[in-house]
Structure 1
Amino acid sequence: MIRRPHVPRVPWPLPPRLADLVVAAVVAVFTGADAAVNVEGYRQADQVTWLLFAVSIGALLFRSSRPVAVALVTGAAGAGWALYGHIGELLNLPVMAALYAVAVRGDRRRTVRTGVTAALASGAVSVIAGIDVVQPEGAPVLEMLWPLVPLLLGEVVRARQELLREYAARAARAEADREREALRKVELERLRIAREVHDVVAHTVSAMTVQAGLALDALDARPELARQAMRQVRLSGKEAVRELRATVGVLRGPADEADATAPAPRLGELPELVDRVRATGLRLTVHADTEDREVPHLVELAAYRIVQEALTNVIKHAAARHAAVSVTLAGDRLAVEVIDDGHPPAAPPGGAHGYGLVGMRERAAALGGTVEAGPRAAGGWRVFASLPVGGAAA
């Protein structure tokens, strides 16, 4: 089962509640120290000053969960200090911390709206309060600019966090894709091995069963024929073991690399297949013509297995006396045809198809080809496969 890709969040160094407490404590230290300083010519620290201080620091405890509300409260407290006549270099720290949270925990549109509002409000307060300690002519402009600093910083941090989340999401999707591809390859390999084992076992066991029956029937009257049939049973068994060893070797790993890479059957081995089938008593004619052209190995393997499976079905189900195999190359497609003069196979219970026909169609489809199977108008059964020999098949 494929797990849904998990997109990890970019964690904060501290839990939000604890981070708010730490920020509030740090801001309280610096802002409180500045609020306690009395500037000559301006209002001295009193109860109103400390009340606004308490409101600002208390609001910062909710900075993560309610950043906009905290920015309004701290901004109002900062404006109250200015309008009340108590000034200080660090009295704007609470509202700056709140504005930073607005940008980090919001989006760009909210940051822009907040920046415009905060700049206009700060400029208006500076004009009303008459702040002119450093630069009387430019004081309103400077007061309009400072709220933008924490907003820009927060926007940069938020953009970086979004980028990290996107990278994490891409990594998760890539991992999920790799996992799906690995499972797909395993499934394809499992089906391939299942087809190979089925073709080898079904064909060989069917042929050996018929040959053993012939040997048993001829044991007393024609012992030489019985011995010939049993020799053919032994040869078929050895051939089946060889092919099974080559197929199963794929599952074993590097230690059995020689078996895993043993050559798979090709069209050149059709005569051996035909001899084994003829040993069952079936009269078989073969016509193979590839025009001396190179046929891709996978196409040859698929054609061989289709012929093998079709002949296995003839032996098992058709009760035929004669069968014909034709493998010809026409243009860019290899035509494989197997016909017999037996009766059509009975439909399995429930209308299901056997694995042999399914395997033939899967082999052809994997190469971009097709397989047709059905009764002939003149009697018997016909299997026809068309396999491409160029493009993807190569």
Structure 2
Amino acid sequence: MIDTWLRRTRRRHPHVLDALLVLATFVVTAGTTTVDRLGNHIEPNPAALSLAVVASLAILGHRRHPCVVFAITLACSLALCFVATQLNAGLVAPVIASLYFLAVRTDRSTARAATAVAAVLVTGATIINEPDASISVKIGVVAWILLPGAFGDSVRNRRAHLAAIEERAERAERTREEEARRRVADERIRIARDLHDVVAHHIALANAQAGIAVHLLDRHPAQAREMLSHLTDATGSALRELKATVGLLRRADDPQAPLEPAPGLDRLPDLIGAFERAGLPVRLTVEGEPQPLSPGVDLTAYRILQESLTNVAKHAAGTAADVTLAFSGSRVLLTVTNDRPAPAATPAVAAAGGGFGLIGMRERAAAVGGRLTADRRPGGGFLVCAELPLRTAAREEQP
């Protein structure tokens, strides 16, 4: 508790502690100069009191100039050994304080050199001034000289250790913040991909349905009305999916956050029905025994099929699409083909080289440990083939 109070006071009121230390040093040093060898109180020695004042006040500069403070206090203490009437450790109190601050604020070699110099000079001064003094008195004075250096060195080591711990904690905190920012960026990329898939899919359907409605409006108004109804359903579904996807950015405690699960292959019939209403016949084939997919793979498979059929609807209108799901062992193979050859200048062919839709599909497949290929078929048309594992890494499986 006392240590905590001292640290808090040192941080908040450093000059108060310095003033108290100066006052205590002066009292100890001046008190020694007013006592004779027999322990009787005598008249104050003006010279000794002046040296005590100078040595004590010099301690105020220990924060900026510890070496200069040590030199001043050592010179004053040596002079006191000749001026004072009583040889006592109190005469070297300013040196003791300055040696402590020197050990705390400088390196170990400087502190050891200063301690050795002070011990030799003070010992020599006591021998010259009082050759008849007992050996215990001389050893006591030298011991007080050696003590602050050792204590200050331990304090400096402890502070360095605490500073290293704080620095490691700050570095770990920065690392956690960087990891959190990276995860946020990855999540935003994932949401952006979802937005791309949703917008491209529904806009393509809406465009196709609107074009068919315009074509049928004059001659077949009933069919045009039905097609416009499908167009309303498609745009409404687009709005709902956009709301659910963008809603992922809401806070966890937001009551308006989406509660619907991410789409998967269980919604594939609805997806195919939407394309068929837009005029794109889709033939679905399932090979092997269907197996449950992990949530990440399920969403990836749905988005790949959605993007592939959207590309067929946009760039190969008037033809049919074949979708095949082949379950084998621990993997599932998805293929989407169409028979109509795309012209060389269409975006569908360009997409095979660097379109954002196919790039996004490849990245989605790679993210769950799968792979995707897309290219023109030798006999005409386009082929998208994705091989995905049934389950991704353990970290994705965790809630």
Q: Same fold (TM over 0.5)?
A: yes
Give the match for residue 57 of structure 1: 56
Q: Matches of 2:353 and 2:372 in 1, distance apart?
A: 17
Q: 1:299 & 1:193 partners in 2: Cα distance?
A: 16
Assess, with a 3 A threshold, how the Cα gap between structure 1 residues 224 and 171 changes in structure 2: closer, same or farther.
same
How far the C-alpha of 1:268 sits from its partner, in A, is: 2.2
Counterpart amino acid of residue 23 in structure 1: L
- For residues 334 and 115 of structure 1, do their structure 2 counterparts lie closer, same or farther at Cα, with a shift above 3 Å needed? farther
SS class of match (2:10): coil
Deviations 1:108-153 (A, max 9, x none): 44444444444444444444444664xx244443333212322233
The structural deviation recorded for 1:272 is 1.9
Verify: 1:209 aligned to 2:243, yes or no. no
Contact 2:294/2:392, CA 8 A, preserved across alignment: no
Does structure 1 conserve the Cα–Cα contact (< 8 Å) formed by 2:89 and 2:140?
no
Instruction: Report what 2:347 is aligned to.
Output: 346
**What do the CA deviations read for 1:233-257 (whole angstroms, capped 9, x no partner)?**
2332343344334324434446765
The answer on whether the counterparts of 1:20 and 1:62 sit within 8 Å (CA) in structure 2 is no
1:193-272 equivalence runs, <5 A: 193-253=191-251, 260-272=258-270
CA contact (8 A) 1:10 1:161 kept: no
Deviation at 1:304, TM superposition (A): 0.4
Report if the CA contact (8 A) 2:89-2:144 is conserved: no
Residues 223 and 379 (structure 1), Cα distance of their counterparts in 2 relative to 1, 3 Å cut: same
Tell me whether 1:80 sits opposite 2:85 in the alignment: no
**The 10-residue stretch of structure 1 (189-198 or 220-229) with the greater mean CA deviation from structure 2:** 220-229
Cα–Cα, structure 1 residues 122 and 287, in superposed 2: closer, same or farther, change >3 Å?
farther
Given that residues 55 and 73 in structure 2 are in contact (C-alpha distance below 8 angstroms), is that contact kept between their aligned partners in structure 1?
Answer: yes
Q: Measure how far apart 1:67 and its partner are.
A: 1.2
Question: Compared with structure 1, are the counterparts of its residues 293 and 83 closer, same or farther at alpha carbon in structure 2 (3 Å cutoff)?
Answer: same
Q: CA–CA distance in 1 between the matches of 2:253 and 2:155?
A: 54
Partner residue in 2 for 1:369:
370
Pairing 1:290-369 to 2, within 5 Å after superposition: 291-319=289-317, 321-340=319-338, 341-343=340-342, 345-346=346-347, 354-369=355-370
Q: Which has the higher helix share?
A: 2
SS at structure 2 position matched to 1:336 = strand
Q: Which amino acid aligns with 2:61?
A: F
How far, CA to CA, are the matches of 1:131 and 1:76 in structure 2? 20
Equivalent residue letter for 2:380: G
Aligned Cα RMSD in Å? 3.7
**How far apart, in 2, do the equivalents of 1:113 and 1:288 lie?**
87
SS in 1 for 2:196: helix
1:384 and 2:385 aligned? yes
Give structure 1 stretches of 5+ with no counterpart: 1-8
Indicate conservation of the 8 Å contact 1:212/1:233, yes or no. Answer: yes
The verdict on how the C-alpha distance between 1:280 and 1:99 changes in structure 2, with shifts beyond 3 A counting, is same
CA pair 193-46 structure 1, distance change in 2 beyond 3 A: same
The two structures have a TM-score, normalised by structure 2, of 0.79
For 1:235-290, what per-residue CA distance to the aligned partner results, in whole angstroms no more than 9, with x for missing partners?
A: 32343344334324434446765862312221122222122223333343333346
The 1:80–1:252 alpha-carbon spacing in structure 2 relative to 1, beyond 3 Å, is closer
Q: How far off is 1:308 after superposition?
A: 0.5
Whole-angstrom CA distance in 2 between matches of 1:264 and 1:85 = 90
Secondary structure, aligned partner of 1:92: helix
Partner Cα distance (1:163, 1:11) in 2:
21
Amino acid at match of 1:62: G
Deviations 1:185-219 (A, max 9, x none): 33333333322222222211211211121122123
SS in 1 for 2:387: strand
In structure 1, the residue matched to 2:187 is 189
Could you say which residue in structure 1 is the equivalent of 2:3? none
Q: TM-score, normalised by structure 1?
A: 0.80
1:250–1:260 contact (8 Å) kept in structure 2: yes
Q: Which of 1 and 2 has higher RCO (CA within 8 Å, sep 6+)?
A: 1
Please report how far the alpha carbon of residue 76 of structure 1 lies from its aligned counterpart in structure 2 after TM superposition.
3.1
Q: Helix, strand or coil for the counterpart of 1:282?
A: coil
SS of equivalent residue, structure 1 residue 28: helix
The number of aligned residues is 383
Q: Is the 8 A contact 1:342 1:379 kept in 2?
A: yes
- Provide the rounded CA distance (Å) in 2 between the counterparts of 1:110 and 1:386: 70
Task: Tell me how far apart the structure 2 counterparts of residues 112 and 290 of structure 1 sit (CA, whole Å).
Answer: 82
User: Does residue 101 in structure 1 map to residue 124 in structure 2?
Assistant: no
